[in-house]
Amino acid sequence: MLRTLKNRFEQGYRTSAYPKTPIELPQRYRGLPKVHQKVSQEVADQCEAACPQKAIDGKNKRIDLGRCVFCGTCERISNGGFASFSRSFELGTAQRDHLFTNGTLPSLAENAKDHFKKLFGRSLQLRQVSAAGCNACEADLNVLATPFFDLARFGINFVASPRHADGIVVTGPISRNMKKALLETFDAVPSPKVVIAVGACSISGGPFHGSPEVSEGLGDLLPVDLFIPGCPPHPLTNLHALLTFFK
Ligand code: SF4
Ligand code: SF4
């Protein structure tokens, strides 16, 4: 017991002061991309052709963050001429079409729903459904329960049973085999309920887009309230979106 207390004092207080204090992510982190509108059409077309995710609309010079896996190819081959990635991790949106961006995103706070804040602002219980995810999105959601992020201090928890949940958080490209389980889990959550799509896979099929084995995005199956892009989204991207949308 004494050893535990000693260890506790030695460790100090490890929980982040975010969101009261901003957090700076490392230089190598790729967040919201700025798409440079003055880039030549030729370079924009080259980037569109090189994008493994078909996330680039070269003609309108914009990127679909719902498909982008933040691989950095477009920035690298254009030497930053087409796009450069900022360290802004605030990427969540309330609508799928808000994820088409040239460097700005609509304010999530302004698109949040008041009745959700009233219902879930003090307590939000979520059931996570991994619908054939690679486990990276899932791992970066799990991280939110660690002492550094300490999600529970905001009244948000992940629960085991959908019957105890206020909504579902879906990761993965929703394979044919997982579709039934996902829909049954959604049905088991009592109304009113929320649906959150985390990661490129659940938003658009991600790297598996186009395969007959996966869906084209959660939005085709369920009414999605919150989209959190990334591959995987950084834990701070998830945390920012949850706090902004529900608090
Ligand atoms: S960073 Fe995104 S938009 Fe750019 S090439 Fe990779 S997937 Fe495509
Ligand atoms: S979005 Fe990326 S990290 Fe998340 S499940 Fe799909 S492949 Fe894995």
* pLDDT tens for each residue of 30-55: 999 999 999 999 999 999 999 999 99
Whether 195 has a pLDDT exceeding 90, the answer reads yes
pLDDT band of residue 1 (cuts 50, 70, 90) is confident
Q: What is the mean pLDDT of residues 78-98?
A: 98
Q: What is the mean pLDDT of residues 1-8?
A: 88
Q: What is the mean pLDDT of residues 134-154?
A: 97
- Ligand 2: distance of its center to the CA of 115 in Å? 30
Asked if residue 209 lies in contact with residue 61, where contact means CB atoms within 8 angstroms, the answer is no
CB 172 near ligand 2, within 6 Å: yes
CB 84 near ligand 1, within 6 Å: no
Probe ligand 1: pick from 36, 46, 47, 53, max atoms within 8 Å of CB? 53
Q: What local confidence, expressed as pLDDT, does residue 236 receive?
A: 98
Close Cβ partners of 3 (under 8 Å, ≥ 6 residues apart): none
Q: What local confidence, expressed as pLDDT, does residue 13 receive?
A: 85
- Ligand 2: distance of its center to the CA of 173 in Å? 8
Q: Specify the residue for token string 């949106």.
A: 93
Q: Whose CA is nearest to atom 7 of ligand 1?
A: 68
Whether 8 has a pLDDT exceeding 90, the answer reads no
Q: What local confidence, expressed as pLDDT, does residue 116 receive?
A: 93
Task: Please give the model's pTM, rounded to 2 decimal places.
Answer: 0.96
* pLDDT tens for each residue of 62-84: 999 999 999 999 999 999 999 99
* pLDDT tens for each residue of 153-181: 999 999 999 999 999 999 999 999 999 99
- Which tokens in the block code for residue 100? 């088409």
| Vertex 97: Cα angle to 166 and 80 (nearest 5) | 115
Torsion of CA 230, 234, 236, 242, to 10 degrees: 40
CB 71 near ligand 1, within 6 Å: yes
Say how far apart CA 155 and CA 175 lie, in whole Å.
Answer: 31
* Residue 69 CA, closest ligand 1 atom number: 7
Whether 223 has a pLDDT exceeding 90, the answer reads yes
Say how far apart CA 172 and CA 39 lie, in whole Å.
Answer: 34
Q: What local confidence, expressed as pLDDT, does residue 141 receive?
A: 98
CB 72 near ligand 1, within 6 Å: yes
Give me the percent of the chain exceeding a pLDDT of 90.
94
Q: What local confidence, expressed as pLDDT, does residue 9 receive?
A: 86
Q: What local confidence, expressed as pLDDT, does residue 143 receive?
A: 97
HEC assignment per residue over 116-160: HHHHHCCCEEEEEEECCCCCHHHHHHHHHHCCCCCHHHHCEEECC
Domains in the chain with CATH codes: 109-246 (3.40.50.12280)
Report CA Rg, the chain. 19
CB 70 near ligand 1, within 6 Å: yes
CB 133 near ligand 2, within 6 Å: yes
Whether 136 has a pLDDT exceeding 90, the answer reads yes
CB 199 near ligand 2, within 6 Å: yes
- Ligand 2: distance of its center to the CA of 4 in Å? 38
